[in-house]
Amino acid sequence: MPASFDALVIGTGQAGPALAARLAGAGMAVAVVERAKFGGTCVNDGCTPTKAMVASAYAAHVARRASDYGVRLEGEPRVDFGAVMARKDAIVAKSSGGVERWMAGLKGAKVFRGHARFTGPDKVRVNGEELSAGKIFLNVGGRPLVPDMPGLASVPYLTNQSMMTLDSLPGHLLVAGGSYIGLEFGQMLRRFGSRVTVIEMGPRLVAREDEDVSAALKEILELEGIEVRLDAKCVSVRKEPDGVSAGLECSEGAPRARGTHLLLAVGRVPNTDDLGLEQAGVRIDERGFVEVDGELRTSNPRVWALGDCNGKGAFTHTAYNDYEIVADNLLNGAGRKWSDRVPVYALYTDPPLGRVGMNEAEAKKAGLAVLVGKRPMTRVARAVEKGETLGFLKICVEASSGRILGASLLGVGADEAVHSLIDAVVAKTPYQEFQRRVRIHPTVSELLPTVLEDLKSQ
Give me the active site residues, please: 441
As measured in angstroms, the least distance from the Cβ of 458 to ligand FAD is 29
Rounded to the nearest angstrom, the gap between the alpha carbon of residue 363 and the centroid of all alpha carbons in its chain is 23
Antiparallel, parallel or unpaired: β 109-113 and 456-457:
unpaired
How deeply is 234 buried, as exposed, middle or buried, from its count of CB atoms within 10 A (0-12, 13-18, 19+)?
exposed
Q: Which is nearer to ligand FAD, 125 or 336 (CB)?
A: 125
As measured in angstroms, the least distance from the Cβ of 250 to ligand FAD is 26
Work out which of 316, 329, 359, 420 binds ligand FAD, going by CB under 6 A: 316
Q: Which is nearer to ligand FAD, 93 or 381 (CB)?
A: 93
Work out which of 7, 9, 15, 303 binds ligand FAD, going by CB under 6 A: 15
Contact of 30 with 24, CB cutoff 8 Å: yes
Cβ atoms within 10 Å of 89's Cβ, excluding its own: 14
Contact of 140 with 309, CB cutoff 8 Å: yes
Q: Is 18 in the site for ligand FAD (CB under 6 A)?
A: no
Q: Which is nearer to ligand FAD, 99 or 237 (CB)?
A: 99
Q: What Å distances lie between residue 446 and 340, 380, 393, 410, CA to CA? A: 28, 9, 11, 15
Q: Give the binding-site size for ligand FAD (rule: CB under 6 A).
A: 36
- Binding to ligand FAD (CB under 6 A): which residues in 93-122? 115-116
Stretch that binds ligand FAD, among 13-21, 85-93, 404-412, 437-445 (CB under 6 A): 13-21
Work out which of 8, 50, 158, 446 binds ligand FAD, going by CB under 6 A: 50
DSSP label of 163: G
Work out which of 32, 34, 214, 230 binds ligand FAD, going by CB under 6 A: 34
Q: Is 307 in the site for ligand FAD (CB under 6 A)?
A: yes
Antiparallel, parallel or unpaired: β 227-229 and 233-240:
unpaired
Selection from 122, 47, 57 nearest residue 280 by Cα:
122
Contact of 173 with 44, CB cutoff 8 Å: no
Work out which of 308, 360, 388, 398 binds ligand FAD, going by CB under 6 A: 308
Q: Which is nearer to ligand FAD, 307 or 373 (CB)?
A: 307
Q: Is 170 in the site for ligand FAD (CB under 6 A)?
A: no
Sign of CA dihedral 261, 266, 271, 274: negative
DSSP label of 334: -
Q: Is 36 in the site for ligand FAD (CB under 6 A)?
A: yes
- 187 vs 198: CA distance, rounded Å: 10
Work out which of 20, 32, 40, 355 binds ligand FAD, going by CB under 6 A: 40
How many C-alpha atoms does 360 have within 13 Å on its Cβ side?
Answer: 18
As measured in angstroms, the least distance from the Cβ of 304 to ligand FAD is 13
Q: Is 35 in the site for ligand FAD (CB under 6 A)?
A: yes
Q: Is 338 in the site for ligand FAD (CB under 6 A)?
A: no
As measured in angstroms, the least distance from the Cβ of 418 to ligand FAD is 13
Which strands form 195-199's sheet, in the order they lie side by side? 227-229, 195-199, 172-176, 261-264
Quick note: the x/- pattern for ligand FAD over 132-151, rule CB under 6 A, is -------xxxx---------
436's CB contacts (< 8 A; 6+ apart) are none
Contact of 393 with 454, CB cutoff 8 Å: no
Work out which of 84, 319, 325, 414 binds ligand FAD, going by CB under 6 A: 319
- 126 vs 332: CA distance, rounded Å: 31
- 414 vs 382: CA distance, rounded Å: 12
As measured in angstroms, the least distance from the Cβ of 302 to ligand FAD is 17
Contact residues toward ligand FAD (CB under 6 A) are 10-15, 33-36, 40-42, 46-47, 50-51, 115-116, 139-142, 160, 181, 271, 275, 307-309, 314-317, 319, 348
